[in-house]
Amino acid sequence: MNYELSVLSSEVAAQLADGNPGGDRILGTVLAVQANFYQVRLDNLPVNSTQNYLLCTRRSLLKKIGQQVMVGDRVVVADTDWAGGRGAIAEVLPRTTELDRPGMANAQQVLLVFAFAEPELDPHQLSRFLVKAETTNLAVALCLNKSDLVSLEKQQQWRDRLGIWGYQPTFLSLHTGEGLAAVYQQLMGKVTVVAGPSGVGKSSLINQLIPDINLRVAEVSGKLNRGRHTTRHVELFELPGGGLLADSPGFNQPDLDCSPEELVNYFPEACQRLATARCQFSNCLHRDEPNCAVRGDWERYEYYLDLLQIAVEQQEHLAHQSDPESTMKVKNKGKGQSQYEPKLDTKKYRRISRRLQQQNLEEFYQDADL
């Protein structure tokens, strides 16, 4: 089975090298995944065919070898039924990048969308999203929506502030159209993941960039001052001038999936300090170690310490999970806080099954007869 796939890969590579993408084979990009079906946009079409999209299944061979098909995957399509608009994915080409959340392949950059107001711009939440975006090792672009709701003075303050953080944001107003052309220019010809908290205008932005797409949008909750979730699954949309956009499901707090030692690499201003000086210890966490080059008076240092504590607790939690003899467990108290508690001996309090009770009763009577 592996040999068959390697031969298929070599054939596709040869066709690409010859300047004849696909040749007799049909190449495409997976735009959406729902259940066991895949919406595939085709690159090359047979003669007399005008159908650019196929609804595909996955060949059983891919399922047997555990080959997952993700949104953004480049695939080879076979067993096409042009009249029915169906096909089967025969091979998944090698991925350049892969994301877990959202589940997506071959993305090139992350576009973080936040709003100046409604909901109010929170520096701590913004930092957490930026750190999550940096962990993907993709290029990170940042735009701040609803600029028409704040003064020019406040806009300049945020521009200066984010510049110190290491980012050059694009200010956007979907109401007036300000900054829309600049955002479009950043997205052209690239595969981009659009992310950010709910209610900041991600779906509205995509509706502006891609006419007639009509993504569902929702108003900001007046009670909670935050957006309602509208996007349910990852899907790629085509920009008119070239490029693909992935509208990722909205979430209020992205997960943190890096080790405590790696965290500092996702703060550009901290990396700048490390570029000009070195810490005394190679495993420095930049918390209270002597002669640390990172610890100091920079705005997001407190945010770094908060995220470091979360990363340390996660690492300890994983260590306790992998140690079956551990007598402690981690209890989540909410709001990112947790504490350790003794484990209970569940065997001591477990109820005996009826089957075992019946067996014990039968053995009792057998012993009594003897």
* Domains of the chain (ranges, CATH numbers): 2-94 (2.40.50.140), 104-247 (3.40.50.300), 275-347 (no CATH)
Residue 254 pLDDT > 70: yes
Residue 188 pLDDT > 90: yes
Residue 324 pLDDT > 60: no
Question: What does the pLDDT average to over 294-316?
Answer: 93
Kindly state the tokens that stand for 124: 């701590």
User: Among residues of the chain, what percentage have pLDDT more than 70?
Assistant: 76
Residue 309 pLDDT > 90: yes
Peptide bond into 119 cis (omega under 30): yes
Higher model confidence: residue 84 or residue 332? 84
User: Among residues of the chain, what percentage have pLDDT more than 90?
Assistant: 54
DSSP string, 27-91: EEEEEEEETTEEEEEESS--TT----EEEEEE-HHHHHTT----TT-EEEEEEEETTTTEEEEEE
Strands 328-334 and 220-221: unpaired
Higher model confidence: residue 134 or residue 119? 134
Q: Mean pLDDT for the chain? A: 82
Kindly state the tokens that stand for 65: 């070898």
In this prediction, residue 245 carries a pLDDT of: 93
368: helix, coil or strand? helix
Count of CB atoms situated within 10 Å of the CB of 259: 11
Residue 233 pLDDT > 80: no
pTM for the predicted model, two decimal places = 0.74
Residue 161 pLDDT > 60: yes
- 2-36 pLDDT, tens digit per residue, is 333 333 344 444 443 333 344 457 899 999 998 88
Residue 360 pLDDT > 50: yes
Kindly state the tokens that stand for 140: 């990170």
Categorize the per-residue pLDDT at 267 as very low, low, confident or very high, splitting at 50, 70 and 90: very high
In this prediction, residue 350 carries a pLDDT of: 65
Q: Answer left, alpha or beta for residue 334, where phi above 0 means left and psi between -120 and 50 means alpha.
A: left
Higher model confidence: residue 219 or residue 34? 34
The span from the CA of 301 to the CA of 316, in Å, is 22
The span from the CA of 216 to the CA of 204, in Å, is 8
In this prediction, residue 331 carries a pLDDT of: 61
Question: What does the pLDDT average to over 304-324?
Answer: 84
Residue 50 pLDDT > 90: no
Length, in residues, of the chain: 370
